[in-house]
Structure 1
Amino acid sequence: MAKKNITRNKLPKPDARQALLITRRNARMARSAHAYVRGNTSKFYEWLEGIEGHALPEGPAIWICGDCHTGNLGPVADAQGRVEIQIRDLDQTVIGNPAHDLIRLGLSLATAARGSDLPGVTTVRMMEALADGYERAFDETAGDADIHAEKPEAVRVVMREAVRRSWRHLAEERIEDLDPTIPLGPRFWPLAKSERREIEALFEKGSLARLATVIRGAGDEADVEVLDAAYWVKGCSSLGRLRYAVLLDIDGAAIEGDDLCLMDIKEAAQAAAPRYPGVRMPRDNAERVVEGARHLSPSLGERMRAARLADRAVVIRELLPQDMKLTIEQLTRDEAMKAARFLAMVVGKAHARQMDSAERKGWLTELRRNRSKTLDAPGWLWTGIVELVSSHAAGYLEHCRRYATEREGS
């Protein structure tokens, strides 16, 4: 306990977090152009607002991710432990144009290709593979067995690791050991007493206590106790919002050395992603995120709940050992093609499951219109990627200039 208190004294107090988190976010975005694309969602939305009205096709009104870059896809487990690659971050989910997700994913893959020093011709072929994988999700006559057989190595590795992972792996990765405490340090910062009280009160509510017990098959009467909690320094574009890690005990299991229950509490802010006018969505931002997850990533949505904490909307979910981030940094030519085709199919399936047969057929017809003889992908997709790669490259350099200037002045 003394060691923990010594560490606590060296870590930022709650009222000093914001400035440090902004500095950390800027540092992460300065690491590479790919990191900048992941962290700077606003530049993508600015581009969407600036393009001409009919530059993009208008797809069916469905729930979209809104920030569909490669880091927001990865292995996700359902309550029964089954693992699939799905969209895993829904902060920006809205009912909007599915074309936005496809372009955002293409931009992310294109910057990963540039970071891997792949030639521009490979980026062209990646966009063709992207279109092919996405369209297969809507084509009832197309099979996807060959795409599953050609998963990129990054996906194969993370899936193999995900299905092998246990609660012990989760504890060692997230909280560094098996003791029922969260060690304070660079990733976990101390809470104010008021934050701790509000978190404890939150899990006294029956609906949230049941969220913690449902995966273990514990009954509604199971005792749920907050063992420890900390501010979680996590993410990039979301750094600066409320984020907490909470360690729960379910009927004494954690204290007895059995399964840990680690909950993630994340503030749900107003979505900046463009939505279709006139659509009905939950006004509460946490409820919006949960509803979007249930449509796009059912395995994740079924174990998420909306709540209020410190008068802010928050999303609560239990972290499972199989929940992992898909990291695509360095790509070979073949891996780039496989990644584009496979991840586009994942996003396509998330979109397609929300459409009826007529909508899927109509959207597929639109996607296949106006193909040129030199590019087997929608012209609007390629034009958008070229413009976005260019604007983000300039934005990244300007971000690095400002970051370097701020560091020199500090």
Structure 2
Amino acid sequence: MKKPLPTPRQRAPLLTERRRLKMARSAHAYVRGNTCRFYEWLKRCDAMLPQGPMIWICGDCHVSNIGPVADADGNVEVQIRDLDQAVMGNPANDLVRLGLSLAMAARGSDLPGVITAKMMEELIEGYAQALTGKQGDQKSARKRPDSIRVVVRRAARRRWKHLAAERIEGIEPNIPLSKKYWPISSAERRELAALMATEEVRALATSLSHRDDKDEVTMLDAAYWVKGCSSLGLLRYAVLLRVGKSKDIDSSLCLIDIKEAAKSVAPKTQRTAGPRNNAHRIVEGARHLAPHLGERMLAARIQGKSVFLRELLPQDLKVDIDHLNQSEAMEVAGYLGNIVGRAHGAQMNADERKRWLGELRRNRPKNIDTPSWLWRSVVQLVQEHEGGYLEHCRLFANESA
């Protein structure tokens, strides 16, 4: 007999337990799910970092938050794909966060420490390359490593049936309740239906180039979505819509991801703090850092909380680098650094890019071609997160016993 799925009132403790379990799977997973610990360290050691121009930063720039995303016309590019922590802040924060994520991924792949040092060199070189020349110039872009080229090629070929098989376990127009999808209350369903009936959501759902912007939109089904790691415990819904009357599922079915917009833990500059509303902050950050994604997002309110919506497209994928060899690790580090550099550089004028490049080229030790502030930060963070991960596993094991 199957165990009954949790009711809305039973969600909170179960989601907390699931989050702890996911973070205990590996040290890399612990880093991905513990942005707070990163910024606690950063607050103590902020004086170590150079101050770059105040721009929109990802705020949670780890490896899994970068990957292929599609725009409304179906064009696929590798961009930052998670902007929950986006703020106006110091671009050095994103570099350190990405460096930590790459270092922990290298440890998970049993790569020697010298390769981690080489990865940091490639990371900063790829980032700096993105800031040279004119923005958008192909000379500022790095060639995709084979491991990422395969993911992009697969993303470009994907259709609705692939998304449905992964997200809703089939292509029928409903969301079957399961371990991933939990029941919602009548009140939640009414609020979701009212939101889906707004003109703003209709415009979002019909924005793709292969849909008619005059089509009607109908809510078919909705469920609470048990997804992510750091977001577990926040409101999260999956809503299935029908757009127009076409029988072609690639154009007529639409899966909307609704996510609570929590307060960012990333430090922001007081001088240019951006929108105060968290959902508006996330959408605005996405428009600057990941244009393909930003044009497919919308801020709203559900259950008295600020949320943001986006249509999930089959082409949206994350990059998985849990198992890399030495050459792949260095290529991926340089490429991902370049992606972040292009997102940052697009917001800077020529003088700002020049000054920031000069800062990045300073303070490089003789034995490693990486700024000393980046290397020292990553080393300290790896030590702190390794200890934190082991303590998390000990506490979780005690609670589960």
Q: TM-score, normalised by structure 2?
A: 0.96
User: Which residue pairs with 1:392 in the alignment?
Assistant: 385
Report the CA distance between 1:160 and its aligned residue: 1.5
Over 3 Å counting, the alpha-carbon distance change for 1:183 and 1:289 in structure 2 is same
Task: Give the whole-Å Cα distance in 2 for the aligned partners of 1:319 and 1:289.
Answer: 16
Report the CA distance between 1:10 and its aligned residue: 1.2
Task: Give the whole-Å Cα distance in 2 for the aligned partners of 1:218 and 1:163.
Answer: 18
Report the CA distance between 1:155 and its aligned residue: 1.1
User: Which residue pairs with 2:31 in the alignment?
Assistant: 37
Report the CA distance between 1:221 and its aligned residue: 3.6
Report the CA distance between 1:144 and its aligned residue: 5.7
- The amino acid of 2:34's aligned partner reads N
Task: Give the whole-Å Cα distance in 2 for the aligned partners of 1:264 and 1:253.
Answer: 22
Report the CA distance between 1:152 and its aligned residue: 3.0
Task: Give the whole-Å Cα distance in 2 for the aligned partners of 1:94 and 1:272.
Answer: 9
Matched, 1:14 2:4: no
Over 3 Å counting, the alpha-carbon distance change for 1:88 and 1:141 in structure 2 is closer
User: Which residue pairs with 2:176 in the alignment?
Assistant: 183
Residue identity over aligned pairs, in percent, reads 56
SS in 2 for 1:51: helix
User: Which residue pairs with 1:366 in the alignment?
Assistant: 359
Report the CA distance between 1:134 and its aligned residue: 0.5
Task: Give the whole-Å Cα distance in 2 for the aligned partners of 1:401 and 1:312.
Answer: 34
SS in 1 for 2:252: coil
SS in 2 for 1:382: helix
- The amino acid of 2:41's aligned partner reads W
User: Which residue pairs with 1:403 in the alignment?
Assistant: 396
Report the CA distance between 1:278 and its aligned residue: 2.1
Task: Give the whole-Å Cα distance in 2 for the aligned partners of 1:371 and 1:60.
Answer: 20
1:19-168 equivalences under 5 Å are 19-51=13-45, 53=47, 55-140=48-133, 148-149=142-143, 151-168=144-161
Task: Give the whole-Å Cα distance in 1 for the aligned partners of 2:273 and 2:265.
Answer: 16
SS in 1 for 2:192: helix
Deviations 1:142-177 (A, max 9, x none): 98669643x333312211210110112111221111
RMSD between superposed Cα atoms in Å: 1.8
Task: Give the whole-Å Cα distance in 2 for the aligned partners of 1:289 and 1:278.
Answer: 18
- The amino acid of 2:28's aligned partner reads H
Matched, 1:211 2:185: no
Task: Give the whole-Å Cα distance in 1 for the aligned partners of 2:46 and 2:210.
Answer: 52
Give 1:333's match in structure 2, choosing from 319, 326, 330.
Answer: 326
Task: Give the whole-Å Cα distance in 1 for the aligned partners of 2:185 and 2:322.
Answer: 37
Task: Give the whole-Å Cα distance in 2 for the aligned partners of 1:303 and 1:93.
Answer: 16
CA contact (8 A) 1:73 1:85 kept: yes
CA contact (8 A) 1:134 1:341 kept: yes
CA contact (8 A) 1:212 1:261 kept: yes
User: Which residue pairs with 1:3 in the alignment?
Assistant: none
1:235-314 equivalences under 5 Å are 235-253=228-246, 259-314=252-307
Report the CA distance between 1:52 and its aligned residue: 5.1
Report the CA distance between 1:58 and its aligned residue: 0.4
CA contact (8 A) 1:147 1:341 kept: no
Report the CA distance between 1:254 and its aligned residue: 6.0
1:223-234 equivalences under 5 Å are 223-234=216-227
- The amino acid of 2:133's aligned partner reads E
SS in 2 for 1:281: coil
- The amino acid of 1:323's aligned partner reads D
CA contact (8 A) 1:167 1:259 kept: no
- The amino acid of 2:36's aligned partner reads S
Task: Give the whole-Å Cα distance in 2 for the aligned partners of 1:221 and 1:336.
Answer: 47
Task: Give the whole-Å Cα distance in 2 for the aligned partners of 1:193 and 1:177.
Answer: 25
Task: Give the whole-Å Cα distance in 2 for the aligned partners of 1:258 and 1:392.
Answer: 44
User: Which residue pairs with 2:194 in the alignment?
Assistant: 201
Give 1:349's match in structure 2, choosing from 317, 330, 342.
Answer: 342
Report the CA distance between 1:293 and its aligned residue: 0.2
Task: Give the whole-Å Cα distance in 2 for the aligned partners of 1:97 and 1:348.
Answer: 13
Task: Give the whole-Å Cα distance in 2 for the aligned partners of 1:257 and 1:75.
Answer: 19
Report the CA distance between 1:370 and its aligned residue: 1.9
- The amino acid of 1:51's aligned partner reads C
Q: How many residues align?
A: 400
